[in-house]
Chain A
Amino acid sequence: MDINYNEFEGREIMEPILKIQNIEKYYGSRSSLTKALDGISMDVNAGEYVAIMGASGSGKTTLLNVISTIDRVTSGHIYVADKDITKLKGNELNRFRREELGFIFQDFNLLDTLTAYENIALALSIQNVSPKEIDERIKKVAKELSIKDILSKYPYQMSGGQKQRVASARAIITNPKLVLADEPTGALDSKSSKMLLERFNYLNKELGATILMVTHDAFTASYASRVIFIKDGKIFSEIERGDDDRKEFFNKIIDVVTLLGGDLNDAL
């Protein structure tokens, strides 16, 4: 199942929101060099829902970190909405993060001193949005993610699934160009996972959010519209859901995982 990423170039022309050109990331010294990312190139179009799969150590989290500007590339370029983010420095980086990106992490990363409402509001207040507008936007997003009832609760009073939905609300409330999710279901039970992923689909389909998700779980990946497989810092293969239903897509993913050499078997 040798699917080349270039095969998809022929499809309808869309403006890519994320353009990655031949990026490399090296760790360590000259004598013991680790290539975490070894010449990766890929595009993500506006409104796409892309999952990146790979085993531990494959470089998938490093990829997410360099896209989110938490880490820097050794060489290559990353364009978000035509802006080369590898060239940004200091407060430009902060502005880029707050205006163009939304984050969702495995460990939720909610501030434990703030209520759900305040956690979500913080993303907006950093951008100097007026309290009135903050309130309107939070009410709207709370409805969409069904977290209306827990807005006044503190993180320690919420379940994992609730926390992750609050984190998702915080990620999308700023209308970011790109939502980055790092193992969003990693700490959730299967029921909460399913519910969260359905919410992601809603965000993607109904609200048009562009989502880039890193996971090692085939079930989670099967919710995406495209899955990119990474092995040893390189793109191994890529499959698109097309018109398949989720079950069929899941099976295709499993096929690639098998092909990858059982590295991801633990993901089942």
Chain B
Amino acid sequence: MMLFKLSLKNIKKSFKDYTIYFFTLVLGVAIFYVFNAIDSQTIYMDVTSNMAEIIKLMTSMLSGVSVFVSFVLGFLIIYANRFLIKRRNKEFGVYLTLGMSKKKISLLLFFETLFVGLISLVVGLGVGVMLSQAMSLLVANLFEANMTDFAFVFSTSACEKTLLYFGIMYLLVMIFNTINISKCKLIELLQSNKKTEKIRLKNPVLCTIIFILSTFTLGTAYYLVTGGIDHLDNANKIFIPIAMGIISTFFIFWSLSGLLLKACMSIKGLYYKGLNSFTLRQISSKINTTVFSMTVICLMLFVTVCVLSSALSIKNAMTANIRELAPVDVSFSKYLYHENSVFDVNTPQAVLDDAKVSLKETLKNHGIDINETFKDVVEIPVYRIEELTMRATLGEQLDEISKKFKYLNYDNEETIITVSDYNKIAKLYGNETYSLNDDEYMIIADFDSMVEIRNMALNEGVSITINDKTYHPKYTECKDGFVEISSNHINDGIFIVPDHAVEGQIPFHELMVANFKETSREGKNRVNDMINKKINSAWNETTLTSVNTKIEITDASVGLGGLVTFIGLYLGIIFLISSAAILALKELSESTDNKERFQMLRRLGADEKMIHKALFSQIAIFFMAPLILAIIHSIFGIKFCIFILETFGRKGLLSSIIMTSIFLVLIYGGYFILTYICSKNIIEEN
């Protein structure tokens, strides 16, 4: 019982030191709960069945990510705990000299961990439950769902999961502490704060060489993932630059810590001004030993920034795309009968018959009344011609292009639509309409890398041949546009030709777009379900008609956007907290060691203001150094992400970077301020 009281007293006494540790634990527990409780919040939301599927997928992904997160948090907690224990070595030494056994000390630590663990779990769950109420608004907003009614949700399963995961983490901490205590020697404990660290100044020449080498390596890595990349065809293309980046990050910190001190020392006016020499030495004496953690923190921040901003930008782009790329409620597309087409001996007779009638007829045959259900109906034929392959449209640019893009199939037949048909659709969509002379053609496309390829040919004025007649490009570049509704910019090129060019040809596809007559949300959903049931289930049974509806596209986009956002937020926040907490704890433990040094400065007559400034700049530099390098990394990292996520478009990038910055400032900045305040309290006179 005495141990019990002692441990309680210890926690109370060292609450100042425990603040950040405790704060981090609470935050970790709360976030863990919030993200695991998301599924129970969606119960109260009015979502379509598609969306419910996506939410289910997200929930299982989040719980997978939670395992990873618990590893990160576990390491963080053990690391943080090690710091706090180290600080109390002398106290343990005194216990040992008083005749307390190591077993008892372990038990004491066990109680302490238990108390801190219990309190943090209770407080963290409390905060988590509160936060998750606010989260349900975000969930509803992200999934564009109606909240049927606001209900206070408590997720038992998330709570149990949090208790289990954190219970295991705390158990590990206890085991770790016991091992640590049983290994230590009394003399080391008692003299632990008398240890003076040897200070070595690094060889400036070596530093310079290593700095130049690592900057060069980093530059190369940056180039490899941005300017020097055309397409991603094997994993080495990404892993090699990442490895280069990690190694050079370490050596940049290593060399820069030596170089900057040397540089500052040579500027006498700066170095011997106020407490500057003290501050710089403080930093350099630590940076020698903290290069490794700086590197880890820098890389974690880098990942955070990239994950958060890509996730948010995917989400933004997806939402923006829908409005633009799905201007009508539904689009049908049916293969018409053609000899060299998708039809073969295995095709059912019903499908073959269906392929010979018009789309309208097909819909009627499948029980859909066009006049009753749809308005704004536009029906157009889409052609393909054997001689007009991609190879044929690229002209002399083919060699160069095929060298760069080896994996494109250049023998695909191109899609052709007549200009008057295209204009009908464009008018309905509110897109620009065009007119062509008898010997002109143009290309409509919105998939960026294909636009780039086609523009090369258009720029050279490559002419095409259709039915022995030659056509020249009207424009030197592709025009933006599309005909089928979709969630992304995936139109890789449609050739628009004068009406007479394909006269007499049998169309390859028939395309029909329309709006629903129903205007209410429920009504649209009903029609949507009806079409799906009647057409999708008939695929390859009685017809080869495919259907895209705005509702499905929206659900998929919004759902995927929401999923990516949540996973990005989850990982991003955890990474941010972890890296900020490591830095904060490191700084705080240093501050305790520095207490005497600051006391000395006071005796020398340094003003409180000077001392606070010295402390502030010391902590600021420690927080800023990894952040600055991480931001530089991120500039290139985000560029690479844009390259990968090209199809999503880049519209939301700016706002997602702003959002990421807000998170960064709030969490990282919050830890920085907290660290400063706690350190100030520690070094304060009595």
Q: In the bound complex, do residue A126 and residue B610 qualify as a contact, i.e. CB atoms below 8 Å apart?
A: yes
Q: In the bound complex, do residue B196 and residue A97 qualify as a contact, i.e. CB atoms below 8 Å apart?
A: no
Q: In the bound complex, do residue A121 and residue B277 qualify as a contact, i.e. CB atoms below 8 Å apart?
A: yes
**How does the 8 Å CB contact mask read for A59-103 relative to B, with 1 for contact and 0 for none?**
000000000101000000000000000000011001111110101
Name the distance in Å between A159's Cβ and chain B's nearest Cβ: 14
Q: In the bound complex, do residue A98 and residue B281 qualify as a contact, i.e. CB atoms below 8 Å apart?
A: no
Q: Which residues in B have their C-beta under 8 angstroms from that of A124?
A: 272
In the bound complex, what is the Cα–Cα distance between A245 and B605 (angstroms)?
Answer: 37
Selected contact of B605 from candidates A94, A131, A134, CB within 8 Å: A94
Q: In the bound complex, do residue B271 and residue A70 qualify as a contact, i.e. CB atoms below 8 Å apart?
A: no
Selected contact of B281 from candidates A114, A126, A134, CB within 8 Å: A114
In the bound complex, what is the Cα–Cα distance between A170 and B605 (angstroms)?
Answer: 12
Q: Which residues in A have their C-beta under 8 angstroms from that of B525?
A: none
Known A114-B277, A156-B198; judge A121-B272 contact (CB<8 A). Answer: yes
In the bound complex, what is the Cα–Cα distance between A111 and B279 (angstroms)?
Answer: 11
Q: Which residues in A have their C-beta under 8 angstroms from that of B276?
A: 125
**How does the 8 Å CB contact mask read for B237-274 relative to A, with 1 for contact and 0 for none?**
00000000000000000000000000000001101111
Stretch at the interface among B111-119, B127-135, B418-426, B596-604: B596-604
Residue in A closest to B275 when the chains form the complex, CB atoms: A126
Q: Which residues in A have their C-beta under 8 angstroms from that of B269?
A: 130-131
Q: In the bound complex, do residue B277 and residue A128 qualify as a contact, i.e. CB atoms below 8 Å apart?
A: no
Q: Which residues in A have their C-beta under 8 angstroms from that of B610?
A: 126
Q: Which residues in A have their C-beta under 8 angstroms from that of B198?
A: 156
In the bound complex, what is the Cα–Cα distance between A154 and B607 (angstroms)?
Answer: 25
Instruction: Kindly state whether residue B100 has any CB partner on chain A within 8 Å.
Output: no
Instruction: Kindly state whether residue B285 has any CB partner on chain A within 8 Å.
Output: yes
In the bound complex, what is the Cα–Cα distance between A101 and B606 (angstroms)?
Answer: 12
**How does the 8 Å CB contact mask read for A137-176 relative to B, with 1 for contact and 0 for none?**
0000000000000000011100000000000001000000
Instruction: Kindly state whether residue A260 has any CB partner on chain B within 8 Å.
Output: no
In the bound complex, what is the Cα–Cα distance between A101 and B605 (angstroms)?
Answer: 9
Q: In the bound complex, do residue B274 and residue A109 qualify as a contact, i.e. CB atoms below 8 Å apart?
A: no
Q: Which residues in B have their C-beta under 8 angstroms from that of A114?
A: 277-278, 281
In this complex, the interface size class of chain B, counting residues with CB under 8 Å from chain A, is 20 to 34
In the bound complex, what is the Cα–Cα distance between A134 and B601 (angstroms)?
Answer: 18
Q: Which residues in B have their C-beta under 8 angstroms from that of A94?
A: 602, 605-608
Q: Which residues in B have their C-beta under 8 angstroms from that of A90?
A: 608
In the bound complex, what is the Cα–Cα distance between A134 and B197 (angstroms)?
Answer: 27
Instruction: Kindly state whether residue A112 has any CB partner on chain B within 8 Å.
Output: yes
Instruction: Kindly state whether residue B476 has any CB partner on chain A within 8 Å.
Output: no
Residue in A closest to B283 when the chains form the complex, CB atoms: A113
Q: Which residues in B have their C-beta under 8 angstroms from that of A112?
A: 196-197, 199
Q: In the bound complex, do residue A95 and residue B607 qualify as a contact, i.e. CB atoms below 8 Å apart?
A: yes
Instruction: Kindly state whether residue A123 has any CB partner on chain B within 8 Å.
Output: yes
Name the distance in Å between A115's Cβ and chain B's nearest Cβ: 9
Q: In the bound complex, do residue A134 and residue B272 qualify as a contact, i.e. CB atoms below 8 Å apart?
A: yes
Q: In the bound complex, do residue B274 and residue A125 qualify as a contact, i.e. CB atoms below 8 Å apart?
A: yes
Name the distance in Å between B365's Cβ and chain A's nearest Cβ: 87
Q: In the bound complex, do residue A98 and residue B196 qualify as a contact, i.e. CB atoms below 8 Å apart?
A: no
Instruction: Kindly state whether residue B282 has any CB partner on chain A within 8 Å.
Output: yes
Q: In the bound complex, do residue A125 and residue B199 qualify as a contact, i.e. CB atoms below 8 Å apart?
A: no
In the bound complex, what is the Cα–Cα distance between A160 and B602 (angstroms)?
Answer: 23
**How does the 8 Å CB contact mask read for B572-608 relative to A, with 1 for contact and 0 for none?**
0000000000000000000000000100111111111
Q: In the bound complex, do residue A98 and residue B199 qualify as a contact, i.e. CB atoms below 8 Å apart?
A: no
Q: Which residues in B have their C-beta under 8 angstroms from that of A101?
A: 605
In the bound complex, what is the Cα–Cα distance between A99 and B282 (angstroms)?
Answer: 25
Instruction: Kindly state whether residue B5 has any CB partner on chain A within 8 Å.
Output: no
Name the distance in Å between A130's Cβ and chain B's nearest Cβ: 8
Q: In the bound complex, do residue B604 and residue A122 qualify as a contact, i.e. CB atoms below 8 Å apart?
A: yes
In the bound complex, what is the Cα–Cα distance between A127 and B610 (angstroms)?
Answer: 11
In the bound complex, what is the Cα–Cα distance between A90 and B610 (angstroms)?
Answer: 13
Q: In the bound complex, do residue A126 and residue B603 qualify as a contact, i.e. CB atoms below 8 Å apart?
A: no
Q: In the bound complex, do residue B278 and residue A128 qualify as a contact, i.e. CB atoms below 8 Å apart?
A: no
Name the distance in Å between B429's Cβ and chain A's nearest Cβ: 69
Q: In the bound complex, do residue A70 and residue B603 qualify as a contact, i.e. CB atoms below 8 Å apart?
A: yes
In the bound complex, what is the Cα–Cα distance between A112 and B272 (angstroms)?
Answer: 17
Q: In the bound complex, do residue A97 and residue B609 qualify as a contact, i.e. CB atoms below 8 Å apart?
A: no
Instruction: Kindly state whether residue A183 has any CB partner on chain B within 8 Å.
Output: no
Q: Which residues in B have their C-beta under 8 angstroms from that of A217?
A: none
Known A98-B606, A125-B277; judge A113-B285 contact (CB<8 A). Answer: yes
Instruction: Kindly state whether residue A118 has any CB partner on chain B within 8 Å.
Output: yes
Q: Which residues in B have their C-beta under 8 angstroms from that of A68?
A: 603
Known A94-B602, A123-B604, A156-B198; judge A111-B597 contact (CB<8 A). Answer: yes
In the bound complex, what is the Cα–Cα distance between A183 and B277 (angstroms)?
Answer: 28
Residue in A closest to B610 when the chains form the complex, CB atoms: A126
Q: Which residues in B have their C-beta under 8 angstroms from that of A97?
A: 602-605
Residue in A closest to B611 when the chains form the complex, CB atoms: A94
In the bound complex, what is the Cα–Cα distance between A68 and B284 (angstroms)?
Answer: 32
Q: Which residues in A have their C-beta under 8 angstroms from that of B196?
A: 112, 155-156
Q: Which residues in B have their C-beta under 8 angstroms from that of A98?
A: 604-606
Residue in B closest to A180 when the chains form the complex, CB atoms: B603
Mark out the residues of chain B between 557 and 576 whose CB falls within 8 Å of any chain A CB in the assembled complex. none
**How does the 8 Å CB contact mask read for B320-362 relative to A, with 1 for contact and 0 for none?**
0000000000000000000000000000000000000000000
Q: Which residues in A have their C-beta under 8 angstroms from that of B272?
A: 121, 124-125, 131, 134
Q: Which residues in A have their C-beta under 8 angstroms from that of B284?
A: 113
Q: Which residues in A have their C-beta under 8 angstroms from that of B273?
A: 125, 128, 131
Max chain A CB contacts within 10 Å: which of B600, B608, B609?
B600
Q: In the bound complex, do residue B600 and residue A109 qualify as a contact, i.e. CB atoms below 8 Å apart?
A: yes
Q: In the bound complex, do residue B604 and residue A126 qualify as a contact, i.e. CB atoms below 8 Å apart?
A: yes
Residue in B closest to A112 when the chains form the complex, CB atoms: B196
Mark out the residues of chain A between 215 and 231 whose CB falls within 8 Å of any chain B CB in the assembled complex. none
**How does the 8 Å CB contact mask read for B192-204 relative to A, with 1 for contact and 0 for none?**
0000111100000
Residue in B closest to A96 when the chains form the complex, CB atoms: B605
In the bound complex, what is the Cα–Cα distance between A101 and B274 (angstroms)?
Answer: 18
Known A113-B199, A156-B196; judge A122-B608 contact (CB<8 A). Answer: no
Name the distance in Å between A225's Cβ and chain B's nearest Cβ: 26
Known A131-B269, A134-B272, A156-B198; judge A111-B278 contact (CB<8 A). Answer: yes
Contacts A112-B196, A126-B274, A154-B199 known; 4 new A-B pairs at CB < 8 A:
A91-B607, A94-B606, A122-B277, A131-B269
Give B contacts to A, CB under 8 Å: 196-199, 268-269, 271-278, 281-282, 284-285, 597, 600-610
Question: Which 8 A-B residue pairings sit nearest by Cβ, starting from the closest?
Answer: A98-B605, A97-B605, A131-B268, A113-B281, A131-B272, A113-B285, A156-B196, A125-B272
Give A contacts to B, CB under 8 Å: 68, 70, 90-91, 94-99, 101, 103, 109, 111-114, 118, 121-128, 130-132, 134-135, 154-156, 170
Sample (19) of A-B pairs whose CB atoms are under 8 Å apart: A94-B606, A94-B607, A97-B605, A98-B606, A99-B605, A103-B603, A103-B604, A113-B199, A113-B278, A113-B281, A114-B281, A123-B605, A128-B274, A131-B272, A135-B268, A154-B199, A156-B196, A156-B198, A156-B199
